[in-house]
Amino acid sequence: MEWIKLYWNVLFSQEYFPMFEFYTLASERKVKIIEMSVNDIDFCNDMPQMRYENDRVVAITNLSKARTAWIRKGVEKCDDKFIKALSEEEKNELSLAVQEYQRFGEKN
């Protein structure tokens, strides 16, 4: 079974298939998603905050900040001008694509 994992990792590694880095949004805008450091991933994951009352979540804050952080840290050549040019739908889609790309390299 180990050889299957090894084969899979080589087959779908970024070294051999860098085209997986590129993502085309539904709007047909093409972006290059980059590998993030573990610290950057943790920073983005830790950004949203939940407020509880009586053991129930009553509010979640910093969602827009987290979405922007995923885009800023996970898209090549990303700056304020690029982010401001995105629609809300594009920001949502791209943020999720960046997160999925980062999970692609995680080991199970």
Angle (CA) 19 21 25, round 5°: 100
CA distance 45 to 70: 9
Residues 42/50, Cβ–Cβ less than 8 Å: no
pLDDT > 90 fraction of the chain, expressed in percent and rounded: 73
Query: Which residue ranges make up each domain of the chain?
Result: 21-104
E-state strands within 1-108: 22-24, 30-32, 49-53, 56-61
* pLDDT above 90 (res 32): yes
Angle (CA) 89 91 95, round 5°: 120
The two tokens of residue 72 are: 């800023």
Check residue 19 and report its DSSP letter. G
For 50-98, write each residue's pLDDT tens digit: 999 999 999 999 999 999 999 999 999 999 999 999 999 999 999 999 9
Report pLDDT for 14. Answer: 47
**68: CB partners within 8 A, 6+ apart:** 83, 91
